[in-house]
Amino acid sequence: MKKTSQIKLDLEQPKIRLDVFLAEKLDQTRSQIKLLVDGGFVLVNGKLPKKSGDQIKGGDVVEIKKESEKKETEVLEKKVKRKKIDLKIVAETSDYVIVEKPAGILTHPTAAKENDTLTDYLLEKYPEIKKVGEGEDRPGIVHRLDREASGLLVVARNQKTFLHLKEQFQDRTIEKEYTVLVYDNFSEEHGFINFAIDRGDNGRMVARPIVKEVTLKTIRNIQPGREALTEYWVEKNLSRFTLLKVKIHTGRMHQIRVHMFAFNHPVVGDTLYYNKKLIKKNEPKLDRLFLHSAKLCFVDLFGEKKCFVSELPKELKIFLEKIK
C-alpha cells in the first residue's frame, strides 16, 4: 500500500504557490495546507519545501504523505469556542431573512469546518434552511461578505426563493451598495473601475488593466481575468481619506478591495491589499475593514421590488469622528 499520493503538474502549468495549488486540489484552506507543509507531510520533487508559499511550476511532482490524513482530521475536528454576537434581523418573511452580518465572522464555513459562522447562528434560529441551497455548509446562502466586512445579507428560507434570488445575482439585477472608506482623494466625483480580476501567483486576487486595442505591441500585455465592474461616488473628503458610496455590477471575490487597491485607493483597515506608504503611524487604528454593505435591493417571489438599508456600525462612526 502506497504511503504517499502524487500530483504531477502539467508541463503548461505556470508558476503557482504550493499552498494555493494544494488548497484547490484538496479542497482545503491555505491554513490547513500550511499545517501539513510545516508538519513535513508534503514533498516537492522528493524534497521538503521551505514553506507553504514556495513557488511550484509545470512538471513538478507534489507528494502528500498518507499520514497527513490523521493531521487533516485533527484540523477539521478542532472545535472553536462560539463567540457571543448580537445578530440583528432587519426583516423576516416566510421566504427570506435579511440579516446584518457583523465584522469578524465568516458568512459560512470553509473546508476547515468552522462552527462559529453566520450560518451556525442562523441554523439555530431558522432550522428549515438546513436543506436550502447547494450545499450543507452554505444553507440558504445566496451571497457572502468578507469576514472583516459587515452589512446586509439576504438568506433564503426555501429552495424556490433561493433559486429566484440566485437567478437575479446571475443576471446582475440585484442592487448592492456599500459604504467604503479609502485612502487619498479622488480627482473625479464619480467613476468606474473595470479592471478584470484574476488570482495572482501569490494566491491573492489581482486586478488586470484592460488593453482596449489588440496590436502587435499590446498583445504581450493582455492579461487573463474575469470581467469586473465597480462604480463609485465620492460622498465626503476627509483629510487623507475619502468616504465612498460603491456599487458593484459584478460579484468577484474581494472585488471592491482589489479594485480600490489597483486604483491606488486601498480600503482602510485592509490587511491583505494595502500600501504601506499611505498608512501613517499616528493615524487611528481600525481592527476591521471599513467596508459596509449599506443597501440591498431585489425582487421577491411576488414580483415586488424590496430594498433594505443599514446604518454604519458604531465602530466605523467613531473612526470617522477621529479622522475629521
Q: How far apart are CA 261 and CA 254, in angstroms?
A: 10
- The residues of the chain that CATH labels 3.30.2350.10 are 88-171, 176-323
Band the pLDDT of 111: cuts 50, 70, 90.
Answer: low
Q: How far apart are CA 69 and CA 97, in angstroms?
A: 38
What's residue 39's pLDDT?
80
- The residues of the chain that CATH labels 3.10.290.10 are 4-77
- Report yes or no: 163 and 301 within 8 Å, Cβ to Cβ: no
Question: What three-state secondary structure class fits 299?
Answer: strand
What's residue 3's pLDDT?
57
Sign, CA torsion 165/167/311/115: positive
- What class does CATH assign to 176-323? alpha beta
What's residue 34's pLDDT?
83
Pick from 69-73, 127-131, 203-207, 239-243: least confident: 69-73
What's residue 237's pLDDT?
92
What's residue 235's pLDDT?
96
**283, HSE (Cβ side, Cα atoms, 13 Å):** 18
Q: How far apart are CA 132 and CA 223, in angstroms?
A: 38
Q: Give which of 233, 235, 222 is closest to 195, Cα–Cα.
A: 222
The pLDDT tens digits for 240-293 are: 999 999 999 998 888 999 999 988 999 999 988 888 899 898 889 898 999 999
Q: How far apart are CA 268 and CA 171, in angstroms?
A: 31
C-alpha pair distances (Å), 149 with each of 106, 188, 287: 9, 26, 11
- Report yes or no: 100 and 88 within 8 Å, Cβ to Cβ: yes
Query: Which of 27, 54, 146, 201 is an active site residue?
Result: 146
What's residue 158's pLDDT?
97
Band the pLDDT of 218: cuts 50, 70, 90.
Answer: very low
Q: How far apart are CA 29 and CA 19, in angstroms?
A: 8
Q: What dihedral angle (degrees, nearest 10) is formed by the CA atoms of 93, 97, 98, 101? A: 160
In this structure, which amino acid lies at residue 45?
N
What's residue 210's pLDDT?
53
Q: How far apart are CA 121 and CA 225, in angstroms?
A: 35
The continuous run of DSSP H or E covering 295 comes out as strand 291-299
In this structure, which amino acid lies at residue 68?
S
Is 146 catalytic? The answer is: yes
Question: What mean pLDDT value characterizes the chain?
Answer: 84
- What class does CATH assign to 88-171? alpha beta
Query: What superfamily does domain 4-77 belong to in CATH?
Result: RNA-binding S4 domain (3.10.290.10)
Kindly state the average pLDDT of the residues 128-150.
91
Kindly state the average pLDDT of the residues 187-198.
88
Q: Answer whether residue 80 shows pLDDT above 50.
A: no
Kindly state the average pLDDT of the residues 88-110.
92
